[in-house]
Amino acid sequence: MRFLVITDFHQKLSMLDLINGRIDEYGPEFTLFLGDVTDMGTGEDAVDIISSINSDVYVIPGNCDPRDFPQKISKAAHDMHGKGTDINGQYFAGLGGSNITIFGTPFELTEDELYKGLKPISKKGMVLMTHVPSYGVLDTIPSGINVGSKSVRKIVDEYRPVLALSGHVHEAIGAIEQNGTLFVNPGPARQGRCAIINLENGHASAELLGPMD
């Protein structure tokens, strides 16, 4: 199974051609979009953006997306906010939004809400899609502070997903394996970044791509 992962697009429409070029080049079976499709935009803005991606898209909202995002986006993509689904024999679970920030963005959740949203849909060996990263993994901002979610980390520790995908922290780009889980933050799509994931026989690998690759 091969799929494309993008996040933190922030309504940078000029990057749509690059995303579609990656789809043409790598031939992923589908695309996972981990939120911040818009930059404090509307649900209609999100639909227009997703509709311009030449792929089957599974999507969650980011903290900069509107609260009606899950309802609106179902016109153009598979809404994964608070949902789990089987894709080609692999279980995927998703929850969007972020933990509380200092910026008061539209789609923020308490740690309790994050945990209660993830717990019922989580399974051992899943692919976990969240906008906010696990606390302590790919979540460090330039000042050195960890801003990830302790609830997402708790879910990871309880269920050991084969793959934990996130965005949100633009600077924390990378792919790190810990205790059998591959954590991936592809970096912001607004900068032309994305990741190609290959998942076979319970093993995941990631190729991180930048704008010049």
CATH number at residue 18: 3.60.21.10
What is the pLDDT at residue 89?
Answer: 94
Q: Are 167 and 137 in contact (CB under 8 A)?
A: no
The β-bridge partners of 199 are: 204
Nearest CA-CA partner of 197 in 188, 187, 206:
206
User: pLDDT, tens digit, for every residue of 107-117?
Assistant: 999 999 999 99
pLDDT attached to residue 34: 98
**Alpha-carbon gap, residue 79 to 187, rounded angstroms:** 21
Quote the domain boundaries for residue 194.
2-209
**pLDDT above 80 (res 212):** no
Helices 150-159 and 111-118 sit at what angle, rounded to 10 degrees?
A: 30
Percent of the chain residues past pLDDT 70, beyond the cut: 99
Please give the Cα distance from 163 to 150 (Å, whole number): 17
Assess whether pLDDT exceeds 80 at residue 3. yes
Lowest mean pLDDT among 7-11, 50-54, 140-144, 209-213: 209-213
Phi, psi of 24 (to 5 degrees): -65, -40
Given this model, what pLDDT does residue 211 score? 87
Handedness of CA 70, 159, 111, 30 (dihedral sign): negative
User: Under the phi-then-psi rule, with left for phi > 0, alpha for psi from -120 to 50, and beta for the rest, what region is 94?
Assistant: beta
How many H helices and E strands in the chain?
Answer: 5, 12
Q: What is the pLDDT of residue 113?
A: 98
Count of domains in the chain?
1
Whole-structure pTM value:
0.97
Nearby residues of 140 by Cβ (< 8 Å), 6 or more positions away = 146, 147, 169, 171, 172
Give per-residue pLDDT as tens, 164-200. Answer: 999 999 999 999 999 999 999 999 999 999 999 999 9
CB 57 within 8 A of CB 29: no
Per-residue pLDDT tens digits for 10-46: 999 999 999 999 999 999 999 999 999 999 999 999 9
Residue 122 above 80 pLDDT? Answer: yes
Where is 72: in which H helix or E strand? helix 69-73
